[in-house]
Structure 1
C-alpha cells in the first residue's frame, strides 16, 4: 500500500484539519507562500521553532492512527450558552464562539480571532471533523467586525469560507503571520491581509495594538506546504489591559511564555488551549494538555484565563469532556482557584468583575 492509498484509509480530511498530512511533504527548493531572508526561525524555505522538535515522520503518524485509544464522541454536545453580543463595548468583553474562535470586544473595537463558522474543519465540505455544537454566536448576530486575527493556517483555525463571508459583510482588516496572506488570497484575491513576523505589531486604533509572538507549533494546508507559512500567538495591548491569545502551542521549554511575561508585564486575560493533546507522545510538541496550560498560567500570571480548543471538533484521542475535568485536577494540584481559569463552552461570555 502506498502512502496516498494509506491516507485515504486514515481519513485525510480528519488529518488535514490540523495539517497532519504535512509529513508527506517532499523537499522543495522554494516556498510557495513566502520569500524572505533567512532568520533564526526561517531557513529560506520553511519556518521552524528554534530549539524545539519539528516534524513527526510517517511511521509515527501510522503508529498513532492505527494504535487505538480514540475515545468516542457524541454526535451532539450542545452548549447551554448562546450569545447575542452588543454593537460594541468600551470595556472588555470576550466570548468563545467555539473551538479556538473568539469575539473580543474592547475599546469600541470588535475583533474576531481564528473564526470558524463552517460545519467542518476540513478542506472538503463532505468529510472531516464535524462540529458537535453550533457556533456560540450566529454569524448573522455578529456586530460590525473591525479586525480578524489568524494565528495559523490549519483548517480548525483558518476557515477560508468564513473569511470570505466576513469580508463581503464587514470589510474588516485581516492580520496574520508571514505567508498566510498567500493562503487567503489564493481563494479571495480581493482581501488585503496585513502580515507580520514574530515581534511585529499592528496598530488598530483606539489604543489597541496587536503583537505577533512565537508559539511552538507548525503549519500546513495540504501535502506539500508544511511550515511554509508562519504561525503565532497574539498579545493585544488595550486601554483596559493586555490580552494573550494562544491558538495552538506546545509547552516546550516554556521560554516563549516567560518572554511574554517579561515584555508585556501582567496579563489581564489569557486565552489558553486545553484540548487536542492525546496521545501525548505524538501531540506534546504542538498541543498543550491542561497540566501544561496551568504551567503557562503560573508563568504569565494572568488575572483571568479562559480555556478553549476543546469540545467542538474531534481532532485527537481524548474524550469530548476530558479537558475541563483534567484542567480541574491540574488547578487543584497547583492550588489555583478554578474561578481564575475557566474552560469556556461556545457562547459563554466573560467580562471583568465589578
Structure 2
C-alpha cells in the first residue's frame, strides 16, 4: 500500500492558494522526494520537483526497479503560478521532463535556475533554447523577483566540475526578505561544507537522509545522522529531511533522523507529503 499524502490534489492546491495574500513570514510545502514549494509575498520558488512516474516506467524491467512507495501529491500542471524553479543536478528525480515541461508551459515568465555546467544537457532534456536556463556556479548568485539564489557546492558523490571548473552538482541558498533557506540538492558531507553554509545562518535547511549505500547502484547522500549533525553544525533554525519515501530501494525511516536530531539537539521538522510549514 502506498504511503498516503497528508493532503494532495485539490486540497493541496486550495491550501497553497489560500495563503497567497499573506504578507507575514513564508510557507513551505513538501511535494515529495526533494521537491519543496516556497511561498513568500504571494510568489513561488519551487526546488527540484519530481511529480511523475517517469523513473518507475524507465526502470520497470531492469535489475534496478524504481518502485514508488508514496502517493503523488499533485500533477505538475495543476500547480499555481511559479516564478522560479530549480534543478540542482541532472538526475531525473531533480531534472524530470515529465514534471518540468508542464510547469514551463503553464508559466511563460518562469525562470529555471541550474548549475551552469549542465546547460546543454538541460536544454536537450527539456527541448528548450540553450540560453533559456539561468546558470550558476559556486560563489555566484542571481535575483529573480523577491528571491536571490546563491550557488553552493554539492558532492554527489564527489565535487565534480566540468573542464571549465564549473560544478555539475549544486545546492542553493535562497534569500528573500529577512529569510534564508538552504536546499542541499543531493550531497554527501564534504570538507568545507560547514564553513560554506554556516555564514548564511539559514532559517531552514532541507537535507537528504537516505544515505550512501553502493549496493543500491545510485549516487549517495547524507545519512540520517549526518543530516542531524550538519543541521546543528550550520546553526540552522530548523532542519527538514528529504529524499526518502519515494522509491522502495532508496529510502530511509525518518524516525531515525528524529532520534539523532533529538540526540544532537538539532531543531527539526519532519514534514508529511503535501503538508505545509509556516515560518514567521
TM-score (norm 1): 0.66
Cα distance in structure 2, aligned partners of 1:203 and 1:117? 26
**Counterpart for residue 87 of structure 2:** 150
Tell me how many residue pairs correspond in the alignment: 260
Cα distance in structure 2, aligned partners of 1:185 and 1:218? 24
CA shift, 1:250, in A, is 0.7
**Which of 263, 267, 271 is equivalent to 1:344?**
271
Q: Which has the larger radius of gyration?
A: 1
**Counterpart for residue 161 of structure 2:** none
Given that residues 81 and 348 in structure 1 are in contact (C-alpha distance below 8 angstroms), is that contact kept between their aligned partners in structure 2? Answer: yes
**Counterpart for residue 252 of structure 1:** 190
SS at match of 2:226: helix
Structure 2 unmatched runs, 5+: 159-164
- Of Structure 1 and Structure 2, the greater strand share is in 2
Cα distance in structure 1, aligned partners of 2:57 and 2:156? 20
Q: How does 1:130-169 map to 2 (within 5 A)?
A: 130-169=67-106
Given that residues 276 and 310 in structure 1 are in contact (C-alpha distance below 8 angstroms), is that contact kept between their aligned partners in structure 2? Answer: no
Given that residues 90 and 122 in structure 2 are in contact (C-alpha distance below 8 angstroms), is that contact kept between their aligned partners in structure 1? Answer: no
CA shift, 1:276, in A, is 4.4
Cα distance in structure 2, aligned partners of 1:200 and 1:105? 23
Q: How does 1:321-332 map to 2 (within 5 A)?
A: 322-332=252-262
Q: Tell me: CA distance 1:326–1:280, structure 2 relative to 1, closer, same or farther (3 Å).
A: farther
**Counterpart for residue 41 of structure 1:** none
Structure 2 residue 144 is matched with structure 1 residue 209: no
Cα distance in structure 1, aligned partners of 2:239 and 2:121? 31
CA shift, 1:212, in A, is 0.6
TM-score (norm 2): 0.83
Structure 1 unmatched runs, 5+: 1-74, 220-226
SS at match of 1:341: coil
Structure 2 residue 263 is matched with structure 1 residue 333: yes
Structure 2 residue 240 is matched with structure 1 residue 306: yes
**Counterpart for residue 174 of structure 2:** 236
Structure 2 residue 35 is matched with structure 1 residue 101: yes
**Counterpart for residue 79 of structure 1:** 5
Cα distance in structure 2, aligned partners of 1:313 and 1:145? 26
Cα distance in structure 1, aligned partners of 2:58 and 2:166? 21
Cα distance in structure 2, aligned partners of 1:280 and 1:327? 21
Given that residues 249 and 287 in structure 1 are in contact (C-alpha distance below 8 angstroms), is that contact kept between their aligned partners in structure 2? Answer: yes
Given that residues 210 and 243 in structure 2 are in contact (C-alpha distance below 8 angstroms), is that contact kept between their aligned partners in structure 1? Answer: yes
Q: How does 1:1-354 map to 2 (within 5 A)?
A: 75-82=1-8, 83-84=12-13, 85-86=16-17, 88=20, 90=23, 91-121=25-55, 124=58, 126-127=60-61, 128-171=65-108, 172-191=110-129, 192-206=132-146, 208-218=147-157, 230-253=168-191, 255-262=192-199, 264=200, 266-278=201-213, 286-316=220-250, 322-336=252-266, 340-352=267-279
SS at match of 1:344: coil
Cα distance in structure 2, aligned partners of 1:140 and 1:163? 9
Cα distance in structure 1, aligned partners of 2:181 and 2:38? 10
SS at match of 2:262: helix
Given that residues 77 and 102 in structure 2 are in contact (C-alpha distance below 8 angstroms), is that contact kept between their aligned partners in structure 1? Answer: no
Cα distance in structure 1, aligned partners of 2:237 and 2:171? 18
CA shift, 1:218, in A, is 4.9
